[in-house]
A and B are shown apart, each in its own frame.
Chain A
Amino acid sequence: MKKKLNCVLLVDDDDGTNFINRKIIEKAGIAEYIHTSLNGKEAIDYLSKVSKEGIYPQPDLILLDINMPVMDGWEFVEVYGNLKIGQKGKIIIVMLTTSLNPDDKKKADHYKEISDFEFKPLTIKKLEEIIEKHF
């Protein structure tokens, strides 16, 4: 049976990218709910918001872009590391980037919060591999 995640958070400043990624996740049918944030700051705000029932959103998977205004991917990971356990839950963070710079990959390896590093564009195959590997 196909594993299905509760919630996926997309963090990217490009509307087109978010649109496509949402479509791919929908096609793959692996998530109940998809949320989009345009930068790291918005993503942190989303993670820190408590629902009426007193629950944090705690998405299962975050697909994180590096280069973004306001708060970029790296800064997001730093701030995320300092969040309360209740806000973090068991979130898997995958960096999803266009960067061909090998330094970025190396840098990502240094963060224990970052589980994986993938290149854009996201495909159904890549998505299924991520699910297979981490869930």
Chain B
Amino acid sequence: MPLNNKDVRITLIVNQLTNYLKTDYSGQVPVSKKKDGIDKIIIGVNKLGKALVLKTVSEQQNKKCFNEIIEVLPKIMVADFSQKLTLTEKNNETNAIAVGLNTVEEEMENLIRRLKGSEEKIRVVLEAAQIAAWDWDIIHDTTWRSKIHDQLFGHDQNLPVWSHKIFMEHVIPEDRKQVQKLYDEALITGNLNFECRIKKKDDHTIHWIFTQGLGYKNEKGKTIRMFGITLDITKLKGSESETKLQSQKLTLINQELKQLVHVASHDLQEPLRTLVTFSELIKEEYWHKLDNQGRQYIDFISNSAIRMQGLVKDLMDYLIIGNEKTLSLVDCNKIVHEVLDDMQVLIKESKATFIFDHLPHLKAYAKELRLLFQNLISNALKFRKKDVTPIVKITAKKEGDAWLFSIEDNGIGIEEKDINKLFIIFKRLHNRSEYEGTGIGLAHCKKIVELHNGSIWVSSTIGVGSTFYFRIPKQINA
């Protein structure tokens, strides 16, 4: 057990008193500035020491008084403060010793009363929290325990004795070896800390307990005592195993999702490809034989199949976002340049202007971040006003521990009531004939930003333009 200052000083007092008994009056206990009662005892002990030194000079004259003093000293050592020394007028030196000793006694009594008061408080608190306290004498293998200790193990009241052996009998056989190993280690390190299952004596139910203890070493460095607490953690363990179960379920669902991606990429695509191919074949070989209605039917089939291919592909992309997780240092300027290169045709056609400068380098999932910029930039162009040259402004600024990006356009804007729907998968705000797309782009963006522990939102005025914001922390927990 680590000794605190108070313990150190009490040890000094006890040592000093022991020295007096051996008639060594040479030492003085250092007085500290702390006013906690112990200081007064130390002063008393020091007075006693001084008086004793003087006393030895004229010892012979006051034999009776001195004997009395020597008798009281051992009593103080066992915390019996019942006897007070009578002061005599005859001899100053012996009197001085008696005064010193009486001071020691009084102050020790006060201190012990106060300690008992705080001990009581601790006892009530521990009991209320259903925490059992114990003090294990390792040499004799006996244990003092607080009132509820043995109840934790299914006994009505505390047993006459409690030993390590009795404790180990309660531990279920499967856990015994491990617990013993931890005890053996604790005797060396002085630290005991474990959870194990016990079988209660009364109803034979299995409970989880948690025990923590600190060793107290003698001067040879051997752990001779240990103080600690024990409590029942069965309920905590219950919710822990539930959490474990939940996470196992989640892992399973994730695996299923991955399988679904596989199914989507192969099994669903196959019949769709057949549909598309054969409607193309009909168009090539039988178009001239079909009337208008027949041609319309074929168009419905092939358009639907092509649309379905797009949906399946997008869904697949959505599911695999973040599957291959490796963070790397990404230059956002470079990403934006690349994205714009890919969109050259559209940009030329729409005569769009892009404004961006000094975008940051940051640790991110490169592929995904690129897709994020690509989606947001292509949206900014896609939802442009017919008669206005698009201007897209991309900025980034530091905001605490994060980067705040914005992509601002002068496009058609978004109606207030639709803002909440924007990031929902496959949600489209416009008729297909007006604006193409499956409605997955912004769902992608949301998933990518969330993969980076960030958030995405938009502010928009209909007819004026939209600004998409996303915030990504500089430090991402993979």
CB proximity of A57 to chain B, nearest CB, Å = 21
Determine chain B's interface SS by DSSP, over half rule: loop
Q: Are A13 and B431 in contact (CB under 8 A)?
A: yes
CB contact between A69 and one of B296, B303, B304, B430 (< 8 Å): that residue:
B430
With a cutoff of 8 Å between Cβ atoms, the chain B residues found around residue A39 in the complex are 431
With a cutoff of 8 Å between Cβ atoms, the chain A residues found around residue B427 in the complex are 69
Within 8 A of A (CB), among B395-440: 427-433, 439
Determine chain A's interface SS by DSSP, over half rule: loop
**Chain A 1-29 interface 0/1 with B at a Cβ cutoff of 8 Å (1 = within):** 00000000000010110010000000000
Within 8 A of B (CB), among A63-119: 69-70
**B300 interfacial contact with A, CB 8 Å:** yes
CB contact between B430 and one of A15, A16, A19, A70 (< 8 Å): that residue:
A70
For the complex, count residues of B whose C-beta is within 8 A of A: 12
**A38 interfacial contact with B, CB 8 Å:** yes
A29 to B308, CA, bound (A): 32
For the complex, count residues of A whose C-beta is within 8 A of B: 8
CB nearest neighbor in A for B300: A16
Q: Are B304 and A16 in contact (CB under 8 A)?
A: yes
With a cutoff of 8 Å between Cβ atoms, the chain B residues found around residue A69 in the complex are 427-432, 439
CB proximity of B332 to chain A, nearest CB, Å = 32
Within 8 A of A (CB), among B275-299: 296
Q: Are A15 and B431 in contact (CB under 8 A)?
A: no
With a cutoff of 8 Å between Cβ atoms, the chain B residues found around residue A38 in the complex are 431, 433
A19 to B304, CA, bound (A): 13
**Chain B 181-220 interface 0/1 with A at a Cβ cutoff of 8 Å (1 = within):** 0000000000000000000000000000000000000000
With a cutoff of 8 Å between Cβ atoms, the chain A residues found around residue B433 in the complex are 38
A13 to B296, CA, bound (A): 17
A16 to B304, CA, bound (A): 8
With a cutoff of 8 Å between Cβ atoms, the chain B residues found around residue A15 in the complex are 300
Residue among B296, B300, B439 with the highest chain A CB neighbour number at 10 A: B300
A51 to B304, CA, bound (A): 36
A70 to B439, CA, bound (A): 12
A-B contact pairs, 21 of them (CB 8 A): A13-B431, A13-B432, A15-B300, A16-B300, A16-B303, A16-B304, A19-B296, A19-B300, A38-B431, A38-B433, A39-B431, A69-B427, A69-B428, A69-B429, A69-B430, A69-B431, A69-B432, A69-B439, A70-B429, A70-B430, A70-B431
The residues of A with any CB-CB pair to B shorter than 8 Å are: 13, 15-16, 19, 38-39, 69-70
The 8 lowest CB-CB distance pairs between A and B, nearest first, are A69-B428, A16-B300, A38-B431, A69-B430, A69-B429, A69-B431, A16-B304, A70-B429
A15-B300, A70-B431 known; 9 other A-B pairs, CB under 8 Å? A16-B300, A19-B300, A38-B431, A38-B433, A39-B431, A69-B427, A69-B430, A69-B431, A69-B439
